[in-house]
Structure formats: C-alpha cells, structure tokens
Amino acid sequence: MTSAAYPTADHRPLAVLGRGAQRVARALADVRTWSPLLLGQMQRLGVESVPIAIFIAVFTGIVLALLSSYIFTGAVPLYFVGALVGKTVMMELGPVLTGMALAGRVGANIAAELGSMKVTEQVDALETLAYDPLAYLAVPRVLAATLMFPVVTAFAMAIGVTAGWITSINLLDLSTPEFFKGLRQFYKFKDVWFGLVKAASFGMAVAIMGCHRGLTSQGGAEGVGAATTRAVVLGCEAILALDAFWALVLL
C-alpha cells in the first residue's frame, strides 16, 4: 500500500508524557511569544474577577460571624468569633470559595474561548503562522491565573474578615477591641501564606484544565459546550483535591 513508511508516534504512557513535558518546556521557553500577552490575561482573568470574589467574601464573612456566635454563646468567650472568622477566611473559605467561583468564571472562559478557536481552525491557523499554540494561548493564561488567583484571594480574605467584623459589632454583642483580640490572639503569618499558596495552585489547576479541554475540543458548538462543562467540573475537583493535599503537606 505504501512506498515509504513513516515511523508512527510511540503511544506508550511514558513516551506520551515525555513528549508532553518537552512541548510544555518549549512553550515556556518561548518567552517572546507569551510575554506580551501576559498583562492582558492578568487583567482579564484576575482583575475582572475581583467583583465576584468580593461578593462571595462579604457573605462568607457575615455567615461565619453569625454561625460562630451561635456555636460559642454560653460555651466559649464571644471574642473567639474574631479568631474563627480570621482563621477560616484566611486558611480555607477565602481560597476555596474564591477558587470555586473562579473555576466557573475563568475555567469556563478559557475553555469556551480556546474551544471555539479550535473548532474554527484558528488554532491550526496559528500553527501555520509558526506560532506554538501552547506558548501563544496556554502559557499566558496559566501564568496569569497562577499569579492573579492569590491576589484576588487576598482581596477576598480582607473583605471577608471586614464583613465578619462589621457583622459582629452591629448584630452581635461584641465590640471592635474584642473582635480584634480574638483575631490577633490566634493569628499566624502562616495562615495568610498557606491560603495564598493554595490559591496559586488552584489558579494553575483551573487554567490548565480550561486550556486542556479547550484545545482538545472537537465537533461544533456542542463539543465546545461539553469541553466548557468538563473544564469547570475538573477545575472544581482539582481545587478540592489540592485543598486536601496542602492540608496534609503544610499543616
């Protein structure tokens, strides 16, 4: 049938992994392609996500203050409300809830955009113009999400604690000095960086899922829809798995 055989690609898992790692390394090294796009992606994926993070943080802070007061009343001094709000927002709910919300916003955005580009051959067009799609499309998005998720989460932490404080002094029998006494008593700097490290890993995971599902989309609009849904689900699953991983490793 054929007059010249071309060696077909090795499909063994290690070979596939090796080729994948080689492609990623080449894309990361292609700085002149991705660096001009990084700031724009940081704006789109990070700065534009701040409003939703603030919205979530406000209600998380309010609920945490009310819930801890309900649990502590009659058993534990009420200034512990400050401690619980601070610890929980910084170490767990700030990063995880923000991550989940951004998995929806950022993960879906990336998967839908890259998926549309894939099925309309724009990704092929990039390749024919001698651009590496990983360097041009994936690297700036993954780096932007990794850098900006912690920034957005830091905002969420500050807003969540502030919301808990305002709730405590207005709705609970607690003064500002009492709230901050509890907050300070149990505060460790590790609480903040633990939350921010988690947020960075969540950002990376969400963006990788979005890019991977988008760039492997097939079929028309239906394929893009399926890729988008899958990216969001995988992003949320990755966040929960990473959350447990960091708790095991860092606590």
Partner 1 sequence: MSIRITGLAKRFGSKQVLNGIDLEVADGENFVILGRSGTGKSVLLKHIVGLLEPDAGEVVVDGEAVQGRPQESLDALRASIGYVFQFAALFDSMTVAENLALGLRRRGLDAATITERTTEALALVNLPGSELKLPAELSGGMRKRVGIARAIALRPKYILYDEPTSGLDPVTSAVIDRLMVRTRELGVTGVIVTHDMKSAFSVGDRLALLHEGRVHAVGPAEEMRVSTDPLVRRFIDGIPDDAEAA
> Binding residue for partner 1 (CB under 8 A) from 9, 14, 248, 251?
9
Smallest distance from partner 1 to CB 128, Å: 4
Other beta carbons within 10 Å of 240: 13
Judge whether 211 and 112 are in contact, CB under 8 Å: no
Piece in contact with partner 1 (CB under 8 A), picked from 117-125, 168-176, 199-207, 225-233: 117-125
DSSP 137: I
Instruction: Confirm or reject binding of residue 249 to partner 1 (CB under 8 A).
Output: no
With CB under 8 A as the rule, give the number of residues binding partner 1.
Answer: 23
Task: Report CA dihedral (87, 92, 94, 97) to the nearest 10 degrees.
Answer: -150
Q: Which of residues 125-184 bind partner 1 (CB under 8 A)?
A: 125-132
Smallest distance from partner 1 to CB 137, Å: 11
What CA–CA distance (Å, rounded) separates 225 from 205? 20
Radius of gyration (Cα) for the chain, nearest Å? 22
Instruction: Confirm or reject binding of residue 11 to partner 1 (CB under 8 A).
Output: no
> Binding residue for partner 1 (CB under 8 A) from 6, 244, 249, 251?
6
Place of tokens 């990070």: 46
Using CB under 8 A as the criterion, which residues of the chain lie in contact with partner 1 when the complex forms? Answer: 1-9, 26, 117, 120-122, 124-132
